[in-house]
Amino acid sequence: MTAMTTTSVASTTGRFRAGLAVSAFLGVTNIPFLFAPGPDGDSGPPTVVLVVSGLLGVVSLVCAVVAWRSGNRLAVRINAAALIINALLSMPAFFVDIAAWVKVGAAVSVLLTLVALVLTLRREHTPFTVTD
């Protein structure tokens, strides 16, 4: 009879931790949107987008800390979902007439999101233990 041993905990390699650090950084940079005033007129994103972005920042930060400490794959996946939704919320910035620095900030945010996703969701080759 053959038995295989697997774990649901991600390995905590340097790349994995670097991805979590980028995730936590993105989360921290989004938290202030919770306290940002609503735009006057058409000068910025709707208030609901600011609040959702801030809440996703909190979720991302909490999941990054949990994944850093335990390597929990569920926390990594929730973090990835929060990062993806947050990146999608910043996409309209590329298609409206706004200041160039806002577009650059959105682009940097999207690129950092991609880096964090690649580093945290990459599966490391783990040998399986086979016992007879």
Tell me how many domains the chain contains.
1
Radius of gyration, CA atoms only, the chain: 18
In a domain, 3, yes or no: no
**Position 122 pLDDT exceeds 90:** no
**Position 119 pLDDT exceeds 80:** yes
Domain range for 75: 13-33+45-122
What's the whole-number mean pLDDT along residues 79-84?
96
In a domain, 5, yes or no: no
Q: How confident is the model over 19-57, as pLDDT tens digits? A: 999 999 999 999 988 887 766 665 677 888 888 999 999
